[in-house]
Amino acid sequence: MKKVLAIVAIVMISVITIAFAQSSGEKKEKVQTGVVLQMNNELYIKNITDYRNANEWKYKGDLPAVIDFYADWCGPCKKVAPLMKELAKEYEGKIKIYKVNVDNEKDLASALNIESLPTILFIPMKGVPQVVIGSADKATFKQAIDQVLLGKKTK
């Protein structure tokens, strides 16, 4: 009986050890949808494009994207932020919405010539990105998403 209990204990410890090793070894990136994702320079290079080595625009994403370049001190940026959250929920699974704090990501903002805030970048799956500089209302953002990113025709 003691041998059986010892074998069961060894098997249980082995199973727990293997499960823990697999879960800690797998660093899968969780992709959230329906939320605005904070983006840094590294994430931009990984998910959008590597502006450092690219001679031409090549988007790496799997869905069209919107990037809101903002600063915490920017009044108009504070008006755009809740609209981006609403749009992320409305267009969940159709587009990704990111935000970049230009004070924290100065190299990225400089490389992309972000000079006015907010600057909203609309990135379609094919073609070149479109830019909206300054605050706009939700209807304007929806129209840009529908036309530029999702290719819907206006009525």
Which of 36, 66, 77, 148 is labelled catalytic? 77
Q: What is the pLDDT of residues 87-122, one digit of tens each?
A: 999 999 999 999 999 999 999 999 999 999 999 999
Domain ranges of the chain: 36-149
> What is the C-alpha separation between 43 and 121, in angstroms, rounded?
15
- The model's confidence at residue 6, banded by pLDDT at 50, 70 and 90, is very low
State CA 131 to chain mean position distance: 17
Which of 48, 66, 74, 114 is labelled catalytic? 74
Q: What is the pLDDT of residues 10-65, one digit of tens each?
A: 434 443 444 444 444 433 344 556 899 999 999 999 999 998 877 788 999 999 99
* Catalytic status, residue 74: yes
Q: What angle do CA 121, 123, 127 make, to 5 degrees?
A: 130
What confidence score (pLDDT) does residue 92 get?
97
* Catalytic status, residue 77: yes
What confidence score (pLDDT) does residue 124 get?
97
Q: Name residues whose C-beta falls within 8 Å of residue 85's C-beta, 6 or more positions apart in sequence.
A: 35, 36
| CATH class, range 36-149 | alpha beta
